[in-house]
């Protein structure tokens, strides 16, 4: 039995745990694959090199519906990708970048997600054979998902400036 994630479209074996995230809209199978990818990153420094981008890309590819937590999540993870792809912030600095931004969270607003959330999913990342391939795919994934949200790029730039 396969399941299809309603956010990213990834097809995965049906999860037996049924566990998913509290507010990100991911199917249990997609969420389980994400967990496996995170486990690889936590256990290998070469995979961990792109960890912040993995977290940001996954969050904005599974934005969920309007609420206080999802507003914060989408704004912060989109801002982080803006920082990396358009504002020369290094991956290692992104968590500080996000933490500084939370001071401005009263400016955050809900961004209705785009229809298209990108052609690369957690399945592509999960299938990577080497750390090099993993990092390359994650960086492509982040850029593709960030560009799906292009109508909000000027808003995000303003929030970050």
Q: How far is the CB of 24 from Zn ion (least distance, A)?
A: 9
Residue 52 or 59 having the CB closest to Zn ion:
59
CA 82 to each of CA 6, 75, 77, 130: distance values in angstroms, whole numbers, following the listed order: 25, 10, 9, 27
Subset of 2-41 contacting Zn ion (CB under 5 A): 5, 7-8, 10, 26, 30
Q: Which is nearer to Zn ion, 89 or 125 (CB)?
A: 125
Q: Considering the complex, state which of residue 126 and residue 155 has its C-beta at the smaller distance from Zn ion.
A: 126
Q: Which residue is nearest to Zn ion (CB)?
A: 5
Do 18 and 28 touch, CB atoms closer than 8 A?
Answer: yes
Cα distance from N-terminal residue to C-terminal residue, the chain: 47
Burial of 158 (0-12, 13-18, 19+ CB in 10 A): exposed
Q: Which residues are near Zn ion by CB under 5 A?
A: 5, 7-8, 10, 26, 30
């Amino acid at each position: 039995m396969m399941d299809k994630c309603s956010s990213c479209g990834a097809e995965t074996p049906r999860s037996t745990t049924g566990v998913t995230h509290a507010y990100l809209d991911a199917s249990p199978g997609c969420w389980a694959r994400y967990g496996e990818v995170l486990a690889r990153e936590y256990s290998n420094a070469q995979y961990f090199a792109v960890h912040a981008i993995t977290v940001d890309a996954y969050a904005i590819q599974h934005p969920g519906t309007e609420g206080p937590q999802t507003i914060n999540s989408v704004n912060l993870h989109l801002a982080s990708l803006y920082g990396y792809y358009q504002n020369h912030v290094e991956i290692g600095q992104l968590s500080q970048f996000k933490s500084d931004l939370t001071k401005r969270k009263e400016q955050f607003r809900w961004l209705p997600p785009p229809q298209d959330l990108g052609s690369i999913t957690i399945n592509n990342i999960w299938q990577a054979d080497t750390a090099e391939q993993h990092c390359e795919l994650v960086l492509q994934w982040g850029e593709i998902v960030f560009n799906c949200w292009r109508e909000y790029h000027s808003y995000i730039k303003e929030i970050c400036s």
